[in-house]
Amino acid sequence: MKVALIQMNAGQDRIANIAKTAQLIERACEEERPDLVVLPECFTFYGGDAQKQVAAAEPCPGGEAYAMMQGLAAKYRTFIHGGSVSEREGDRVRNTTLVFDRSGREVARYRKIHMFAITTPDGVSYDEGKIYEAGTDIVTYDLDGVTVGCTICYDLRFPELFRALVDAGAQVIAVPAAFTLQTGKEHWEPLLRARAIETQCYILAPGQEGPYEEDGLTLANYGHSMIVEPWGTVTARLGIGEGIVAARLDMEAVAASRRRIPLAQHRRVPFQTRLS
């Protein structure tokens, strides 16, 4: 199974972003011939104020990004894991992953569960909850006999979600992201490697990278898209700049890791709490 991750710097021109994403998907398919292409979080629109971000949401199906991914999945006979788009459903807007199979059929839809709401060390505040309604469902899909689990960005900090995906059969977990430069420098790789080691899964983590404008500020995303194997080793990475990182996944590596350290057999939950 071969995978290709796309790293990009999406701005506030939604149509241009979709066109650029299509070009990167086509390049990945023609150069790497992957079974799966994974896009970063919010590849259709990034930055701006809350009003612009809400206005950029699209119905799914019915939007340009949906049609682009559906068409290219069928054209290249590959799975496309659509990082995330702003999905509009009535008055609701969600941060949503859409996955299409080799025929262009939608096979998974995951709505980001954990909303990013923090203040970084330099005092910049983020609150996705002002724009998006959180999802509630654990989502996996089958890719030629391999179970792939869905997460988005801030979900990375919640190992219980990753554990639930393993319980649902996941062997590979996708983490499309737009990780801030401030947090990414210290947390991105350690968290990805930890989730790989804990779950004994491959972790596929494509990111947004570089500067963008939001609420009058110039901010930046960390990039450093990477593929991490079940033992915790980073097998492929792309530092900064737009581009593609690809690798072959060996499902025997998942099985071997789980044989060496049989975490599923050793788990002892729920725990009893004693208060002194």
Write out the DSSP string of 15-70: HHHHHHHHHHHHHHHHHH--SEEEPPTTTT---S-HHHHHHT-B-TTTSHHHHHHH
Active site residue 41: yes
Active site residue 130: no
Q: Which runs of E-coded beta strand occur in 151-192?
A: 172-174
What do you get for the CA distance between the two ends of the chain, in Å?
A: 52
- Per the residue annotation, which of 29, 32, 41, 201 is the catalytic one? 41
Give yes or no for a cis peptide into 61 (omega within 30° of 0): yes
Q: Tokens representing 15?
A: 């149509």
d(CA 159, CA 156): 7
Q: Tokens representing 146?
A: 């391999």
Active site residue 112: yes
Q: Give the count of beta carbons closer than 10 Å to the beta carbon of residue 260.
A: 10
In three-state secondary structure terms, 110 is strand
d(CA 195, CA 189): 10
Identify any residues that bridge with 65 across adjacent strands, giving them in sequence order: none
In three-state secondary structure terms, 19 is helix
- Per the residue annotation, which of 60, 112, 209, 229 is the catalytic one? 112
In three-state secondary structure terms, 260 is helix
Active site residues: 41, 112, 153
